[in-house]
Homo-oligomer: A and B are copies of this chain.
Amino acid sequence: MADRSVLRVGLAGLGTVGGGVLTLLRQQHDTVLRRAGRAIEVVAVSARDRTRDRGVSIDGLAWHDDPVALAQDPSVDVVVELIGGSNGPALAVVETALGLGKKVVTANKALLAQHGGTLGGLARDRGTVLAFEAAVAGGIPVVKALREGLAANRFDRVSGILNGTCNFILSTMRTTGRAFDDVLAEAQRLGYAEADPTLDIDGHDTAHKLALLATIAFDIPIDLQSVYVEGIRHISPLDIEYADELGFRIKLLGTAARTGRGIEQRVHPTMVASTDPLASVEGADNAMVVEGDFVGRIMLQGRGAGAGPTASAVVADLIDIARGHNVPSFVTAPEPGLAAVSIAEHDGPCYVRLMVLDQPGVIADIGAELRNEKVSVEALIQRRHQPGSLVPVVLTTHPSQEAPLLRALARIAALGSIAEPPRMIRIDA
């Protein structure tokens, strides 16, 4: 008969993170026992290939070809879902486990961003736990900080560097002056970027994580559809150079903020003042900044991905479960009257770069189009150049609504003297 004092874990998915969880729970067995008050042990596993060498032994563990069978295994108290993907087996495993009243720990932001509302409701109905610290910012305990440590605050804003791949690429572009494609290829060689990097560099991974942070910070239902998403493919060395000159660094930020109209959620490259603590978060690090009405500004920084940090977060959730800790996964009674604010209603300063054929009067034409939309220019940089050549004209605007700025830029783009589509990067206000 199994020792009831042991928390028995079933591990669905044995990739890098799954291997990390197995290693951690073995290596740290006594530490975890001392802190949790009971042992936490993996008793069953499921993965695609039983024979693959994972550098960690699965001898003595029950094996399930089908992860759903793992969730049903009566020897399993808690299912750790590390399969990934927003549907398919990951969803089936989590639904099965919660349906049986079993506790679930997952690192799967895509799954939660899509189905978190339903799954959280299922967990609540069955009186069980759906925990996901590892789904956002890897080893940094951002979920716990927002939901528990800072729970006494009304938040005005939560913002973060939530994707290490993008931050590595942008940091490396800045320090080396190299182009996006070149640095992306290096990130792929180093294992910082996937073979198919779309989810990361187009901002979707950040959007998934932001949607989870926003639901916790603002007591609103998960609403991935309302998140504006823009990636970093269009960032050029030229923009990074101008950012430097203007006193900014370009970061891919996920930002959820309370405005006069409701809650805006947006993911896009952002000009951050070089004196801002987020500006010095470099390489593959992640960070979250949150502003609460009583606590002020709090920043958490650390490694946002990788086997070790992610395993650290997964096992933190397991320790919480072993200790009997249970905070509802998602808000049960949303704050009333908080509308989703679209990006068109976003109000803030902006950086714009235009590639201009040097013709007399072009600056006047640009100025006129902006003035017609009541967008006011804060600074303008135009360098000396060879007559007849293509030159960058860079300007920053005072805070403006986005719709009129976009209208002005569309008309500017249509001017005969503008050679490329205008580039805009929002400035962190």
Instruction: Give the interface of A toward B (CB within 8 A).
Output: 20, 24, 28, 31-32, 34-37, 133, 139-141, 144-145, 147-154, 219, 277, 280, 292-303, 308-309, 311-316, 318-320, 323-328, 331-333, 335
Q: Hey, which chain B residues are within 8 Å of A149, CB to CB? A: 133, 141, 144-145, 313, 316
Contact status A219-B31, CB under 8 Å: yes
Q: Hey, which chain B residues are within 8 Å of A152, CB to CB? A: 24, 28, 31-32, 311-316, 318-319
Given A149-B144, A299-B302, verify A294-B154 contact (CB < 8 Å).
Answer: no
Contact status B144-A295, CB under 8 Å: no
Most buried by B among A32, A299, A314, A335: A299
- A sample of 24 inter-chain contacts (CB < 8 A) reads A20-B294, A24-B294, A31-B335, A32-B151, A34-B219, A34-B331, A139-B295, A139-B296, A139-B298, A141-B148, A144-B144, A148-B319, A152-B311, A152-B314, A152-B315, A152-B316, A277-B301, A292-B312, A294-B311, A297-B303, A298-B301, A298-B302, A301-B301, A324-B326
Indicate which residue in B28, B151, B320, B326 contacts A316 across the interface (CB closer than 8 Å): B151
Counting every copy of the chain, the complex holds 2
Contact status A145-B145, CB under 8 Å: yes
Given A141-B145, A152-B319, A316-B150, verify A301-B303 contact (CB < 8 Å).
Answer: no
Contact status A140-B298, CB under 8 Å: yes
- Give A155 to B316 CA distance when docked, in angstroms: 14
- Give A277 to B279 CA distance when docked, in angstroms: 11
Indicate which residue in B34, B280, B300 contacts A300 across the interface (CB closer than 8 Å): B300
Contact status B295-A302, CB under 8 Å: yes
Q: How far is the CB of A130 from chain B (nearest CB, A)?
A: 16
Contact status B302-A296, CB under 8 Å: yes
Q: Hey, which chain B residues are within 8 Å of A32, CB to CB? A: 151-152
Q: How far is the CB of A147 from chain B (nearest CB, A)?
A: 8
Q: Hey, which chain B residues are within 8 Å of A331, CB to CB? A: 34
Contact status B35-A151, CB under 8 Å: yes
Q: Hey, which chain B residues are within 8 Å of A292, CB to CB? A: 139, 312
Closest 4 CB pairs of A and B: A141-B149, A152-B315, A139-B295, A298-B302
Given A144-B149, A148-B319, A280-B280, verify A28-B154 contact (CB < 8 Å).
Answer: yes
Known: A36-B151, A151-B316, A295-B302. 15 other contacts (CB 8 A): A24-B294, A28-B153, A31-B152, A32-B151, A37-B328, A139-B150, A139-B292, A141-B148, A145-B149, A148-B320, A148-B325, A152-B311, A152-B318, A294-B311, A323-B327
Q: Hey, which chain B residues are within 8 Å of A326, CB to CB? A: 323-324
Indicate which residue in B145, B298, B313 contacts A144 across the interface (CB closer than 8 Å): B145
Q: How far is the CB of A290 from chain B (nearest CB, A)?
A: 9
Q: How far is the CB of A184 from chain B (nearest CB, A)?
A: 24
Residue on B nearest A322 in the bound complex, by CB: B151
- Give A98 to B103 CA distance when docked, in angstroms: 33
- Give A35 to B292 CA distance when docked, in angstroms: 15
Q: Hey, which chain B residues are within 8 Å of A133, CB to CB? A: 149
- Give A295 to B142 CA distance when docked, in angstroms: 13
Residue on B nearest A34 in the bound complex, by CB: B333
Contact status A335-B34, CB under 8 Å: yes
Q: Hey, which chain B residues are within 8 Å of A31, CB to CB? A: 152, 154, 219, 335
